[in-house]
Structure 1
C-alpha cells in the first residue's frame, strides 16, 4: 500500500515511523516532511494547507491512505475534499474539526452534552466581556475562538490582565479573525494530562494516558510552547480517572454527536485538568497530540495502519490495542530563543552516537538536510525518546542520550516526568 502523511513535525515523523513498521506499507510519502522523515520515506514539497495540491498528489500516485498530522488542514476541510474524490483519509470532517477549530463551538457542545468543564461565557464585544470580568473573581482564562497556533489561550491572574487579554485579542486583533469571538472561563487548578482515543463514531478505543509539558522552562516557568516533552502513561490518570474520562467525556460526546447525525471518525484528544480524581476538559483536539504522540506510539505494538483502516471502515469494535508495558519519555530539544525569535541553520552534531542506542528513538521536527548534514529549521528541533521499565530509568536513559547531541543554542527542559514521581 501507498501511504501519505501530511505534516512536518515530530508528530509526523513518529506517525510515519510507526506506519512504516506495517507489513502492508510498500511506499511512504510525507508532505512536506523534515530531515528525519527523508530517511524513512519520500518527502513531497506540498504545504499541508494546500488541500488541492494534496488531492492531486494522492490521485496521481494512487495513495491508499492519507494520514493528517496538523489541525489546520482538518479544520480547512481536507477530509471532505478527499472523500468527495473517493480517497481514503484518516481524520474527522470539517464540521467536526470545529471541536478544535472553534473554542466557542467546543464549549457549547460540552455544555449541551453535560461534559465536565470550567464554567464560561462567550463574547463578541470587548465592552461586554470586560463587564463580565468585573463580576468575576480572578484568576480567569481568556481564549480566542479560532486557531491561533497554540497562543490564543491567556491565563489572567488579575482583572487588569484579563482586560489586557481582551484588548489584545479583540481590539488589537493579535490573532486576526480567530479573535472575533472569545471565551472567558473560570481557571481550573489541578494537574493536567492528555487522553487520546480512536473512534469510528460508535466504538471508543482509548490510547494510554500521557502528560505534556507546555512551558519552556523547568518547573513550568516561562511562556507556553507547542510542548517541551511528554511521558506515558501518566500516573495521575489512575483507573478511576481513566474510567471517568471514557464514561463522562468521550462517550457523551461521541454519542451526542451521533444523535445529531454527525459521525466522528479519527483521533480525538482531550486536554484534561484533574482535581481529586475528577477530570475536566480544558480543550478538545481533533488529531494526534504533539509531543504526546512521540511518547505514546513507541509503546504501541498493534499495527497502526490496520487500526486506522478499521476506524475509517467503522469496524473499530474488532480491534484490541496491544501495548508495551514500559514507560516512555520524550524530551524536546529546541532552538535558543524559542518560543520567541530564534535562528535557523545550526548544524546538529552527534545524532549518529544516539541512533544505535537500545530503546532510544529520534524523531525530527524542525530539521532539514543540507550538504549531507542535518541543520535546525524550526523552534522545536528534535524529540529524544526512550523506553524503560521505570520512569526514572527512562529519564536517565533519555537525558544521557541527549548529552551526545549538540547544536548552537540548544535548549531543553531537564525535569520532564518529575511530576509523576510522587505517584511511584
Structure 2
C-alpha cells in the first residue's frame, strides 16, 4: 500500500514510523512532516489545511489509505473531502469531530446518554461564570469550549485562579473564538489514564492504556501542557479497568454518536479518571493522543495499515501487543507552554541513543533546529517503567540541552524512581 499521514508532529512521526515497518506498506508520505519524519517517509510540502492539494496528491500518488493526525483539519472537514471522492481515510467527519471540537457538545452528549463525567455548567458571560465559581468553590476546572492546542484547560486550586482563568478566556479572548464559551466543571480526584480506540461506526478495536504527564514541571507542578511524557502500559491501575471503561463509556458514546447522526470513524481518545465511583470522562479527543501515540504504537505487533484497512472495509481485525513498557520523555523549549525561543540547535540531543520522535523540528542550513514548544520525545522500552526510564534519562543526560528542558520524573506513578 501507499499511505499518507497528514500532520507535522510527534504523533505523526510515530504513525509514520509504524507504517514504515508494516509489511503491507510500500511507500509512506507525510504532509507536511518535519525533519525527523523526513528520515523515514517522503515529506510533501502541503499544509494540513490545504484540502484540495492533499486530495489531488492522494489521487496522483494512488494513495490507498490516508490517516489524519491533528484535530484542526478534522474539525475543518478534511475526512469528508476524502470520503466524497471515494478515498479510504481514517479520521472522523466534521460532524463527528465535534466530540473534541466542542467541549460543551461532548458534555451535553454525555449528560443525555448517562455517560459518567464530572458535573458542569457552560458560560458565555464572565459575571455568570463568576457567580457559579463562587457557589462551587475550589478546586474547580475551567475549559475553553473549542480547540486550544492542549492548553485550554486550567485545573484551579483556588477561586482566584479559577476566576482569572475564566476572565482570561471569556473577557480576554485568550484562545480567540475557542474560548468565547467555557465549561466550568467539578474537580475529580483519582488516577488519570488515556484509553484510545480505533473505531468505525459500531466496530471498536481497543488500544493499550497509557498515562501521560500534563504538568510542565517535576512533581506534577506548573501549568498544563500538551503533555510532557507518557508510558504504556499503566500497570498500577486495577486489572480489568479497561473492560469497565469499554462497557460504561466507549461503547455507549460510540452508539450515542450513531444515534445523533454523527457516526464516528477514527481514533476515539478518552481521557479518563478512575474515581471511587469507577472511571469517568475528563475529555474526548477525535484523534491519536500526543504523546501517548509515541508509547502505544511501538507496542503494537500487528500491521497498523492492514488493521485500519480491515476495520474500514469491515474485514476481521485483531490487535496483538508486546508486553514491554515503553516510556517517553518530552524535550521542550525553555518557557513552554508560554513564550519560547525557536531555532535552538538540536545537534547534541540528536545523538541520544534512544528512539527520538520529532515534534517541533525543521532543517535550517543543513542542521536540525527546534520549531515549536514541544521539540522531541525520547523513548525507550524495558520490562518495567524503571528499566525504560533509566535508558531514556541516561541517554538525555549525556547530551547538551541548552535552551531546552524536560521533566526528570516521568513514570514515577508507574514505579520509576530515578537513575
1:95-126 Cα distance to aligned partner (Å, 9 max, x none): 11000000000001111111111001122322
1:64-90 Cα distance to aligned partner (Å, 9 max, x none): 111111111111111111111222111
* Structure-2 residue corresponding to 1:27: 27
* Structure-1 residue corresponding to 2:374: 380
- 1:172-211 to 2 correspondence within 5 Å? 172-211=172-211
SS of residue paired to 1:416? coil
- What root-mean-square deviation, in Å, do the aligned CA atoms of Structure 1 and Structure 2 show? 1.8
Shift of 1:164: 2.3
- 1:227-242 to 2 correspondence within 5 Å? 227-242=227-242
Decide which moves more: 381-390 or 251-260. 251-260
* Structure-2 residue corresponding to 1:305: 305
Distance in 2 (CA, whole Å) between partners of 1:175 and 1:214 is: 19
SS of residue paired to 1:405? coil
- 1:41-60 to 2 correspondence within 5 Å? 41-60=41-60
- 1:330-341 to 2 correspondence within 5 Å? 330-341=328-339
Shift of 1:353: 4.3
Q: Is the 8 A contact 1:240 1:277 kept in 2?
A: no
Shift of 1:223: 1.3
SS of residue paired to 1:172? coil
Shift of 1:393: 0.7
Q: Is the 8 A contact 1:348 1:405 kept in 2?
A: no
* Structure-1 residue corresponding to 2:342: 344
Residue 320 in structure 1 maps to residue 291 in structure 2: no
Distance in 2 (CA, whole Å) between partners of 1:186 and 1:361 is: 38
Decide which moves more: 210-219 or 255-264. 255-264
2:400 to 403, 406, 417: 406
SS of residue paired to 1:49? coil
Q: Is the 8 A contact 1:346 1:407 kept in 2?
A: no
Distance in 2 (CA, whole Å) between partners of 1:126 and 1:345 is: 38
Shift of 1:277: 7.0
Distance in 2 (CA, whole Å) between partners of 1:184 and 1:314 is: 40
Q: Is the 8 A contact 2:7 2:32 kept in 1?
A: yes
Shift of 1:214: 0.9
* Structure-2 residue corresponding to 1:361: 355
Q: Which runs of 5+ in 2 are unaligned?
A: none
SS of residue paired to 2:336? coil
TM-score by length of 1: 0.94
1:216-260 Cα distance to aligned partner (Å, 9 max, x none): 110011111111100001124332321211010001111222234
SS of residue paired to 1:165? helix
Shift of 1:144: 1.4
Distance in 2 (CA, whole Å) between partners of 1:37 and 1:415 is: 27
TM-score by length of 2: 0.95
Residue 295 in structure 1 maps to residue 298 in structure 2: no
Distance in 1 (CA, whole Å) between partners of 2:396 and 2:369 is: 16
The count of residues paired between Structure 1 and Structure 2 equals 417
